[in-house]
């Protein structure tokens, strides 16, 4: 993907640029009507950067740290694209405190020690003011000590298992309870589901998520029970046996957290085995398949499944329409946008808001300013940063369509509070 | 586990489970045949085997797109053409690789391991640059998806039948080429004694190249077939490589029959254990059993009798 694609500005958010003001009185007059417009001259570098970060009189440098090679490139490419879009849009509005954002992109190469090494390089050598990055929990765990030692600031986009709250990370994706509980309650209330078969790839996120799901089903949902729980190694491609087991147990709901290449195999074989998900017998509910994954699975193979996320590309609101249009204009019409891609897009915007509230790029001040930061232009609607560094956001359920998009069938009325250490679910 | 089910229900489930085992067997055979030719006959440890398979899958993807756009009327049969093209694409790439890299390493078999592993990384990145890092979706003709109801309760996946038929026909084809054709004789002669084979007038270089090419071509066909049941992405080949080596090594490297016997035993063991235990546990037990047997019988299930 080339870097020189035309960059669309966020139509309603464009403020006049610094050059325009210098150009003449008309522009100056215009700037008076946009009081939030900030000029670099008002913020001397020495005052807003006391810890030696990579901030000059007209630029600020941040890091992007994702895998663009290796297994995880499949998933992380969308995040990189969203972050670059957000950065370009912020720059088109005049940047942060009058400074344009420049980025240094490093490749984690789907290898966790490489992530740690590149994080150290970004923080120690490049002195970046913040980092947008990581995708898997394993990569986040690998960079965490580096960020805490060097007091860096990471915006982490993926929905994940929770059980973490670092002063050096803002989690823009959902932690497990935000993604799981509302979906289970919904399927129980509207579909009358009583029996659940839990299925997942064998690593920390599916296991922790299913643990929370099981606790919720057994302790908080009356008359409901788990009839099977099963894990398959990452990369497993043969699901015929488990499909037969599911037939035997006849659950109301298959709760699937299968990831990566296994995902494609699982849904193709489910369909080939004659289980028609549009009949909802059993109904399939997943928290691991976004629009991005459907591209690999094929819409016709997953039609009729339900997914529980906070964002779907098909969300019907003005913010999202602008976001989808801008994303496609920058990266191509055939792009699809999944939950994590949207969460990655929030990162630069939340950082911008926190820096402006703090009036400084210093990590300590940005951290202090972060709780309570809200972003009203979020494609998912409205989000706010909680004291625990996670986001308040809504939970939604989407029904997979043959064209690879989800139709939103449910959303929580209120924002769901993030609870990374849920009591009663451990 | 089985209380509260009627006999006919249980019978149906076991019939379908037996069939699931047979499908797994066919998948293993398809994966392993190409490697059995290359590793078994030539002694080359081809770590890039999975990437040759994925080349076949990408060829299928391209052909399906071509048919969808230009020949929608013939979409139902594109898969056969895709498999033939996949055979030639992977085969030709294999011959080129043999010429450029492998032939310099015949005397250093362990180095082929490193070289082909490097090749697999290079091929992955080439796929990533050409087709993008994301997985591509291959549209399968409608008649190949879905299932065939045998009775009220027993349903058999059509793509499973397809994979089984393919596995049987390719095994037969390889058998005839290996044991009933001149080329097969030459391959076996070169394997047994390269110098003598050369002395009696066999073009050993060409035989090697063709063998490697055919091995890779068979991998390509397997890759094309696997678009029905698995994913097509730059690193998808890695999903198959461990099982593939497991089957070939367990079967006894130089024996075609061994490969098939080992594919059968591993697939049955795994699918039965998957049904009664959990998925990860089944895998662990399968691997432990294989390691245990290989400790007692390092040459694998079937080995050629050689005078030492």
* Tens digits of residue pLDDT in B63-118: 999 998 888 888 888 889 999 999 999 999 999 999 999 889 888 878 888 999 99
**pLDDT over threshold 60, residue A337:** yes
Residue B206 structure tokens? 């060409």
Domain-located, residue B282: no
Greatest extent of chain B over all pairs of C-alpha atoms, in Å: 71
Is residue A104 classed exposed, middle or buried when 0-12, 13-18 and 19+ CB atoms within 10 A define those classes? middle
The whole-chain average pLDDT of chain B stands at 86
**Residue spans of alpha helices (H) in A163-314:** 176-191, 204-215, 240-249, 261-272, 291-297, 299-302
Q: Give how far B29 is from chain A: nearest CA, Å.
A: 14
Euclidean distance between CA atoms B33 and A354, whole angstroms: 59
ipTM over 0.95: no
Determine how β-strand A100-107 pairs with β-strand A59-66. Answer: parallel
**Is B231's CB within 8 Å of A261's CB?**
yes
* Tens digits of residue pLDDT in B272-287: 888 888 878 888 898 8
Higher pLDDT, A82 or B294: A82
Highest mean pLDDT range out of A190-204, A344-358, B1-15, B35-49?
A: A344-358
**Is B5's CB within 8 Å of A248's CB?**
yes
Give the residue-averaged pLDDT of A119-139.
94
Domain-located, residue B172: yes
Greatest extent of chain A over all pairs of C-alpha atoms, in Å: 77
Domain-located, residue B298: no
**Residue spans of alpha helices (H) in B36-77:** 42, 49-70
**pLDDT over threshold 90, residue A261:** no
Euclidean distance between CA atoms A225 and A233, whole angstroms: 25
Report how many Cβ contacts below 8 Å link chain A to chain B.
140
Higher pLDDT, A308 or A235: A308
**pLDDT the model gives residue A296:** 82
What SS3 state is found at A136? Answer: coil
Instruction: Report the residue of chain A nearest B272, measured CA to CA.
Output: A241
**pLDDT over threshold 90, residue A224:** yes
Residue of A251, A243, A263 lying closest to A188 (CA atoms): A251
Domain-located, residue B7: no
Q: Indicate the pLDDT class of residue A127, thresholds 50, 70 and 90.
A: very high
Residues of B within 8 A of A77 (CB-CB) are 132-134
Higher pLDDT, A125 or B42: A125
Between the two ends of chain B, the Cα-to-Cα distance in Å is 52
Give the residue-averaged pLDDT of A355-362.
94
Q: Give how far A223 is from chain B: nearest CA, Å.
A: 19
**pLDDT over threshold 80, residue A67:** yes
**Is B271's CB within 8 Å of A232's CB?**
no
**pLDDT the model gives residue A211:** 92
Domain-located, residue B267: no
Q: Give how far B18 is from chain A: nearest CA, Å.
A: 9
Of the candidates B136, B155, B271, the beta carbon closest to that of A273 is on B155
Of the candidates B235, B236, B275, the beta carbon closest to that of A241 is on B275
Euclidean distance between CA atoms A342 and A335, whole angstroms: 13
Q: Indicate the pLDDT class of residue B2, thresholds 50, 70 and 90.
A: low
* Tens digits of residue pLDDT in B250-278: 888 677 888 899 999 999 888 888 888 88
Instruction: Report the residue of chain A nearest B161, measured CA to CA.
Output: A272
Q: Indicate the pLDDT class of residue A29, thresholds 50, 70 and 90.
A: very low
Which of A206, A243, A274, A288 to mutate to probe the B interface, most B CBs <10 Å? A274
**pLDDT the model gives residue A38:** 72
Domains of chain A, earliest start first: 18-174+316-392 (3.40.50.2300), 176-309+395-411 (3.40.50.2300)
**Is A231's CB within 8 Å of B271's CB?**
no
Q: Give how far A60 is from chain B: nearest CA, Å.
A: 30
Residues of B within 8 A of A274 (CB-CB) are 146-147, 149, 155, 157
**pLDDT over threshold 60, residue A3:** no
Is residue B180 classed exposed, middle or buried when 0-12, 13-18 and 19+ CB atoms within 10 A define those classes? exposed
Q: Give how far A35 is from chain B: nearest CA, Å.
A: 43
Which of A235, A262, A297 to mutate to probe the B interface, most B CBs <10 Å? A235
Q: Give how far A308 is from chain B: nearest CA, Å.
A: 22
**Is A232's CB within 8 Å of B280's CB?**
yes
Residue of B227, B209, B185 lying closest to B30 (CA atoms): B227
Domain-located, residue B261: no
Q: Indicate the pLDDT class of residue A31, thresholds 50, 70 and 90.
A: very low
Is residue A264 classed exposed, middle or buried when 0-12, 13-18 and 19+ CB atoms within 10 A define those classes? buried
**pLDDT over threshold 80, residue B30:** yes
Domain count, chain B: 1
Domain span holding position B206:
19-237
Phi, psi of A106 (to 5 degrees): -120, 155
**Is A272's CB within 8 Å of B229's CB?**
yes
Domain-located, residue B265: no
**pLDDT the model gives residue B12:** 80
Highest mean pLDDT range out of A161-175, B156-170, B293-307?
A: A161-175
**Is A240's CB within 8 Å of B233's CB?**
no
CB B212, CB B187: distance < 8 Å:
no
The whole-chain average pLDDT of chain A stands at 88
**pLDDT the model gives residue A5:** 46
Domain-located, residue B3: no
**pLDDT the model gives residue A37:** 61
């Amino acid at each position: 993907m080339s870097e020189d694609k035309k960059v669309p500005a966020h139509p309603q958010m464009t403020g006049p640029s610094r050059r325009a003001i210098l150009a003449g009185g008309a522009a100056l007059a215009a700037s008076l009507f946009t009081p939030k417009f900030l000029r670099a001259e008002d913020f001397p570098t020495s005052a807003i950067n006391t810890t030696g970060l990579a901030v000059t009189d007209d630029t600020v440098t941040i890091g992007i740290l994702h895998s663009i090679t290796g297994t995880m490139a499949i998933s992380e490419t969308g995040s990189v694209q969203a972050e670059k879009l957000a950065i370009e849009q912020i720059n088109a509005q005049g940047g942060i405190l009058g400074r344009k954002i420049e980025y240094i992109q490093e490749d984690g190469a789907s290898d966790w020690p490489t992530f740690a090494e590149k994080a150290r390089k970004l923080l120690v050598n490049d002195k970046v003011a913040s980092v947008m990055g990581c995708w898997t929990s394993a990569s986040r765990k690998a960079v965490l000590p580096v960020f805490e030692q060097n007091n860096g600031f990471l915006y982490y986009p993926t929905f994940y298992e929770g059980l973490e709250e670092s002063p050096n990370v803002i989690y823009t994706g959902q932690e497990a309870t935000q993604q799981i509980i509302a979906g289970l309650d919904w399927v129980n209330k509207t579909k009358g589901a009583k029996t659940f078969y839990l299925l997942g790839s064998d690593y920390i996120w599916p296991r922790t998520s299913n643990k929370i799901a099981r606790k919720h089903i057994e302790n908080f949902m009356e008359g409901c029970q788990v009839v099977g729980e099963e894990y398959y190694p990452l990369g497993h491609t043969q699901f015929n046996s488990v499909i037969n087991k599911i037939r035997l147990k006849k659950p109301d709901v298959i709760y699937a957290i299968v990831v990566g290449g296994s995902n494609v195999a699982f849904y193709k074989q489910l369909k080939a085995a004659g289980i028609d998900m549009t009949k909802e017998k059993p109904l399939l509910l997943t928290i691991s398949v976004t629009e991005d994954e459907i591209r690999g699975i094929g819409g016709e193979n997953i039609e009729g499944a339900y997914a529980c996320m906070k964002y779907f590309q098909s969300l019907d609101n003005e913010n999202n329409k602008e976001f989808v249009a801008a994303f496609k204009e920058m990266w191509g019409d055939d792009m699809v946008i999944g939950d994590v891609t949207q969460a990655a897009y929030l990162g630069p915007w939340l950082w911008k808001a926190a820096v402006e509230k703090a009036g400084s790029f210093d990590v300590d001040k940005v951290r202090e300013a972060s709780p309570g930061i809200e972003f009203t232009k979020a494609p998912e609607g409205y989000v706010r940063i909680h004291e625990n560094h996670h986001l308040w956001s809504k939970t939604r359920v989407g029904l997979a369509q043959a064209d690879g998009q989800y139709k939103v069938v449910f959303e929580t009325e209120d924002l769901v509070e993030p609870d990374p250490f849920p009591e009663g679910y451990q | 586990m089985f209380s509260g089910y009627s006999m006919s229900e249980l019978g149906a489930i076991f019939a379908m489970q037996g069939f699931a085992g047979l499908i797994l067997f066919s998948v293993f055979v398809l994966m392993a045949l190409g490697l059995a030719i290359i590793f078994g006959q030539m002694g080359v440890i081809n770590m890039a085997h999975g990437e040759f398979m994925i080349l076949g899958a990408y060829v299928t993807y391209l052909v399906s797109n071509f048919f969808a756009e230009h020949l929608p009327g013939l979409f139902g049969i594109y898969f056969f053409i895709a498999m033939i093209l996949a055979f030639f694409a992977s085969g030709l790439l294999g011959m080129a690789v043999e010429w450029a890299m492998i032939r310099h390493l015949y005397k250093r078999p362990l180095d082929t391991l490193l070289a082909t592993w490097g090749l697999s990384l290079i091929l992955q990145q080439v796929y990533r640059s050409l087709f993008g890092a994301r997985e591509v979706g291959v549209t399968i003709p409608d008649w190949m998806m879905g299932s065939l109801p045998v009775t009220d309760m027993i349903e058999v996946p059509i793509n499973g039948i397809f994979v089984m038929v393919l596995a049987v026909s390719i095994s037969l084809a390889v058998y005839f080429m290996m044991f009933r054709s001149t080329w097969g004789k030459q391959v076996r002669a070169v394997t047994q004694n390269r110098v003598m084979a050369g002395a009696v007038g066999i073009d050993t270089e060409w035989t090697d190249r063709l063998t490697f090419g055919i091995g890779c071509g068979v991998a390509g066909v397997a890759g094309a077939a696997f678009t029905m049941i698995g994913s097509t992405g730059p690193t998808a080949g890695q999903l198959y490589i461990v099982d593939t080596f497991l089957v070939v090594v367990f079967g006894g490297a130089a024996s075609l029959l061994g490969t098939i016997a080992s594919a059968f035993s591993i697939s049955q063991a795994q699918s039965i254990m998957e049904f009664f235990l959990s998925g990860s546990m089944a895998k662990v037990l399968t691997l432990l059993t294989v390691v245990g047997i290989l400790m007692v019988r390092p040459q694998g299930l079937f080995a050629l009798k050689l005078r030492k």
